Amino acid sequence: MSISIKPYNTDHKGELVKLLDFCHEDHTSLHILNSPGLKFAYSAFNDQELIGLALAWTSSIHPNCTYFRILSNPDYRVEEKLLSKLTNDDKVEAPLQTSVWESQEHLRHLYESHHFQEIRRTYLPTLKLSQLDVPGPTTHTPYVLKSLKDLSLDEEKLNRLVTVVKNNYERTHLANPVAKLDDDQWKQMILAEDTTLDGSYIYVDRDNIAAYSFLHESDEKGTYELGWCGVAEGYSQDIIPTLINHQIQYAVNRGVLHIVGEFDTTDDHAMEVFNHFPFNSSSGLITYREVD
The answer on pLDDT for 137 being more than 90 is: no
Using CA atoms, how far residue 287 sits from 11, 16, 68, 73, 107, in Å, is: 31, 24, 11, 22, 12
**Residue 170, domain CATH:** 3.40.630.30
The answer on pLDDT for 162 being more than 70 is: yes
Tell me: do 206 and 270 sit in the same domain.
Answer: yes
- Residue 167 maps to a domain: yes
pLDDT at 25: 86
Tell me: do 227 and 85 sit in the same domain.
Answer: no
- Residue 16 maps to a domain: yes
Quote the strand ranges of 47-169, DSSP E.
49-57, 66-72, 96-101, 116-123, 126-128, 144-147
pLDDT at 139: 63
Q: Which domain holds residue 182?
A: 126-282
Tell me: do 72 and 172 sit in the same domain.
Answer: no
pLDDT at 90: 87
Task: Report the number of distinct structural domains present in the chain.
Answer: 2
